[in-house]
Amino acid sequence: MSLYWLLVSLLLLLLLWSKRQLILLGSSLAGPWALPGLGNAQMIGKLKPEYIFLVFTELRERFGATYRLWLGPQLWVFLHSAEETREALNDATLRKAATFQQLGPLIGNGLLISHGRDWAVQRRLLTPCFQPQLLRSFAPAVNQHANRLLDKLQLTNGMGIEVTDHLFACLLDAIVDTSMGYQLQALQQLPHSPIVAAFHRSGQLLFKRMINPLLASDWVFERTRLWRELSVELQLIHQQMEHIIQQRHLQLKKDQQHKEEDEEEEEQPTKPHILLDAMLLAGWNHQQIRDQVNTFVFAGVDTTTAAMGFVLYALGKHPTVQEKLHAELKDFCAEEDWDALSGLVYLDAVLKEVLRLYTIVPSTGRQTTRETTIGGRRYCAGITIWINMYGLAHDADYFPAPYEFRPERWLHQEMPATPYSYIPYSGGPHVCIGRKYSLLLMKLLTVRIVQRFRLELVEPHAKLVLEAQMVLRSRDGIHIKFIPR
CA distance 160 to 455: 10
CB 273 within 8 A of CB 441: no
468, containing H or E segment: strand 466-468
Let me know if 370 is exposed, middle or buried by CB neighbors in 10 A (0-12, 13-18, 19+).
Answer: exposed
Q: Which amino acid is at 403?
A: Y
- Answer whether 98's CB lies under 8 Å from 367's CB: yes
Q: Which of 378, 401, 357, 387 lies closest to 83 in space, CA to CA?
A: 387
For residue 405, which of 477, 460, 351 has the smallest C-alpha distance? 351
**Do residues 304 and 442 make contact, with C-beta atoms less than 8 angstroms apart?**
yes
Task: For residue 432, say whether it is annotated as part of any ligand binding site.
Answer: yes
How many degrees, rounded to 5, is the angle at CA 261 between CA 256 and CA 263?
A: 115
Are the beta carbons of 112 and 103 closer than 8 angstroms?
yes
Return the ∠ at Cα 142 (arms to 141 and 144), rounded to 5°.
65
Please state, in angstroms and rounded to a whole number, the distance separating the CA atoms of residues 219 and 216.
Answer: 9
Q: Please name the residues in contact with 382: beta carbons below 8 A apart, sequence gap of 6 or more.
A: 22, 75, 367, 368
What residues form the annotated binding site for heme? Answer: 432
What residues form the annotated binding site? Answer: 432
